[in-house]
Structure 1
C-alpha cells in the first residue's frame, strides 16, 4: 500500500488497524475464489465490525484535517441548516406526527440543533430516535447532545435497527451516498462488472464480462456504445423500500449529492462518480488506507424515487438543496443576526453561502421527500418553488 502524493500519512496505530482490515478483505477475496464485487469490498471497507471506516474509531466528521477528520457535512458547518429543517418539520409534527427518526446521525450535531430549532418553533417531538450501529458514533452523539441541548437529551432514543413500524418525520443527511454500490464498465460495447482481486498482495480492479441477462436494467438501455464506468445502487434502493415498508404515515426527507438518472448516466459522466475522502482531500483510489477513508458515490435519485413508489410511497418533492433551504427560510433566519456585528455574522453568512452556492453544495446536493398517508395539501414550503419531481 503506497501513500498517495500530498496526502498525510496516518499514525502507526491507524495503519495497524488498516492492515488488519486489509487482511480481512483479502481473506474474503480468497474465500470467494479470488474476486469479489466492488459492493462487497465497499461494505467491508466501511462497515466491517470494529475495523471499517464507519464501525471503527476514525474521526470522520470535522472542520479540517487538523482535527483528524476527513470531511465536513452541512450540520457541522452551521446550525442554520438544522434550524431551517426545523421550520419545514414543525408543521408536519403539528399534523399529529410527534416522532422524528434520524439515519446517519454522525456526531449528533444535526439531532441537537434540530431539537433546539423545533423547540424554538414550538414543535418539540415526543421522541427523537436515532438508528446507529456504530458504538463509537453513538457515544459521540450522546456527548454532543449533552453539550448542546442537555435539557432535550432525554427525548433521544437509540435503535440498533429499523423499527417494524414508524409514524412521524424521518431525516437522513448524507446517508444514501455511503451505501455500497456495484461498479460496471462498458468496454468495447460490452458490459462488465468491475470487482476487486489481489495482485502481488495488493487490491486491484478486475473486470468480468456479463451475460446479457445479468446486465442491470438501469444500464441495459443506456444509449451509445462508448466506453464508460458507472455504478448501480441496489443497496440504497433496497433501503428505500425498507423505509417504505416501515413508514405507516409520515414523511421521509433525504439530503444528499446526486442527480436524476438522465444526468447520472449522461455520456459526459463516463468515469462514474466513485470518490474517496481522506483528511479533507477528495481522490479516486478506494484501495488507499482501507478503513481510514470514506468511500462514496453520488445518488441516482431516479432509482430512489422508483424504489419509493414500488414500496407504496409518494414522491412529494425533489429540489436542489439551495432552493429547498431558501424556500424554507434560511436567509430569514440568518437575518435575525446583526449584520453590523461582523465577528458574529460573517462566519454564519459564509457557511450559509456554502450551503446555497451552485459552486459549492447548493446545486450538487438535492432534497427528496417521500410520504405515506398524508393529504395533497401538505405544508412543504421547501418545495414551493423549483420542485423538480418531473425530472425524476
Structure 2
C-alpha cells in the first residue's frame, strides 16, 4: 500500500461537515474513495458546497462569491447561445428547454428573454438542480416567467426539447488515480493520527483510458482523474433524449491532451473567494472542487449510447458562430469589455469548449459548429 503526502491542513471551519466526513470514512471502513469524498463535500444535504447557504457565483470576492461563470460575466453569453437553442428547437419541432445545474438562474433568464424576442417562445423551461438553496434563488430570479419555469427532482421519462448545461460536467465527482511507476493506485481519503483528513492510495482495478503500453511514459507520482459519473450522465441522457439536442459548455481537453505524460498533476482545482488552490481536503464544504472535462470520453459515451456528435469546438468559435460579433456591435463599451472575456484566448475563449449531441436519427448542421469544428481531435 502506498500513501501520498498529507494535505496541507484542513481547518475545522465547518465542524458539521468535517464530522459528517469522518462518519462517512468510518462507515467505509476507514478509507473513502475520492469520488465519494468529492460528492459529500459538494452535495451533502445542508452541508456540501452546493447544498449550503454560502454564496457561490459573482464577480466580486468581497461579496463572498468564489468564481464567475459566463452568464454572470455577460448577458451576451445567453443571448448568443439562445440562437443555437432556437435553431435546435425549430429543427426538432419542440418548445422545451431543460437546464441541468442552473446556478444563479442567469442563463435561464437570458435564454427565455432572448427566445421570446426571437419569436421562439418556450412552453416550458425545466431546471434540474440538486441544491435546494440554489433552487430558491433561481425561483426568485425567474418568478416573472411563471408558470413556464418548473423544477424537476429527476430526469423526465422522455426529453423532447433542448438540454443545456454550463459548467455542469466539471463539478461531477471524479476518481483520482496515481501512477507509482508500475501500477495505477486509487486515491482515497482517510484520517491521520491527529484525526485530520489525509490522502491514501490503494491498489485498484481502475486505470485511465489510455493504451496500457503508454503507462511507462508517465512519471512516477503522476495523478490523473477519470470521469465515470460524467460519462454515465451522458449515457443516461441518450436514453431520455427522444427529440431535440443537447449542448454542454465546460473547460477541458481532448483525451490526447488530458492524459499527456507531461501533465503530471492532473487538473483538480478548488476555488474560494476567487482564489484557486489544489487542496480539496482543506475547507470541505466551503469551496468548490472541480476538474477539467475529458471531452473525448464524453463524446464516446454519447456515441456508444446511440447519439450523434453535432460538433465540438472552442467557446470562442461557438459564440462567434452564434452571432456574438453582431451582439457586441450593439453593446456599450462596458458590455463589450466584459463580453470580450468570453472569447479571448487567454480568458474563457479557448479553455472552454462546447460539445453538442442529437438523437442518432435526427442530426443537423448545428449553427454553433458551422466554422472551427474540432470533432476530428476527439
Which TM bucket (shorter chain)? over 0.9
Indicate the SS of the match to 2:302.
helix
Change (3 A) 1:367 1:225: closer
Aligned residue number for residue 283 of structure 1: 277
| Contact 1:92/1:379 (8 A) holds in 2 | no
Q: Does 1:108 align with 2:105?
A: yes
Alpha-carbon shift at residue 73 of structure 1 (Å): 0.2
Q: Which residue of 2 aligns with 1:371?
A: 358
Runs of 4+ in 1 over 6 A off after TM superposition: 1-4
| Residue of structure 1 equivalent to 2:369 | 383
SS at match of 1:192: strand
Contact 1:256 1:299 in 2 (8 A): yes
Equivalent in the alignment of 1:99:
96
1:100-129 deviation digits (Å, cap 9, x = unpaired): 000010010000111011111111111110
Query: Using a 3 Å threshold, how does the CA distance of structure 1 residues 217 and 232 change in structure 2: closer, same or farther?
Result: closer
Identify which of 340, 345, 348 aligns with 2:335. 348
Does residue 186 of structure 2 align to residue 193 of structure 1? Answer: yes
Q: Go from structure 1 to structure 2 and tell me whether the alpha carbon gap of 1:135 and 1:225 turns closer, same or farther (over 3 Å shift).
A: closer
Cα distance, 1:234 vs structure 2: 0.4
Correspondence 1:166 to 2:179 = no
Unaligned runs of 5+ in 2: 1-6
Q: Deviations 1:335-379 (Å, cap 9, x if unpaired)?
A: 113xxxxxxx22211111111011111111000001115544x25
Write the distance in 2 (CA, Å) between the matches of 1:91 and 1:139.
30
Query: Quick check: 1:251 aligned with 2:245?
Result: yes
Q: CA RMSD in A?
A: 1.7
Query: 3-state DSSP class of the match of 1:267?
Result: coil
Offset of 1:220 from its aligned partner?
Answer: 5.2
Once the two structures are TM-superposed, the CA of residue 191 in structure 1 deviates from its matched residue by 1.2
**How far apart, in 2, do the equivalents of 1:99 and 1:83 lie?**
17
Match of 2:177 among 180, 184, 188: 184
- How far apart are 1:190 and its partner, in Å? 2.0
Show the counterpart of 1:53: 49
Which of 128, 131, 136 matches 2:128? 131
Number of the residue aligned with 1:119 = 116
CA separation in 1, counterparts of 2:72 and 2:218?
Answer: 43
CA distance in 1, matches of 2:209, 2:178: 13
Q: How far did residue 283 of structure 1 move?
A: 0.5
- The aligned residue for residue 22 of structure 1 is 18
Counterparts of 2:325 and 2:291, CA distance in 1: 30
- 2:62 is aligned, of 30, 42, 66, to 66
User: What is the aligned partner in structure 2 of residue 230 from structure 1?
Assistant: 224
What is the distance in 1 between the residues matched to 2:244 and 2:270? 34
1:63-102 per-position Cα deviation (integer Å, ceiling 9, x unaligned): 1211111111000001000000111111222231211000
Deviation at 1:42, TM superposition (A): 0.1
Give me the TM-score of the superposition, normalised by structure 1.
Answer: 0.90
Q: Which residue of 1 aligns with 2:3?
A: none
Deviation at 1:180, TM superposition (A): 0.2
Q: 1:75 aligns with which of 60, 71, 83?
A: 71
* Counterparts of 2:234 and 2:345, CA distance in 1: 27
**Structure 1: where are the runs of 5+ without partners?**
338-344
For residue 22 of structure 2, give the secondary structure of its aligned residue in structure 1. Answer: helix
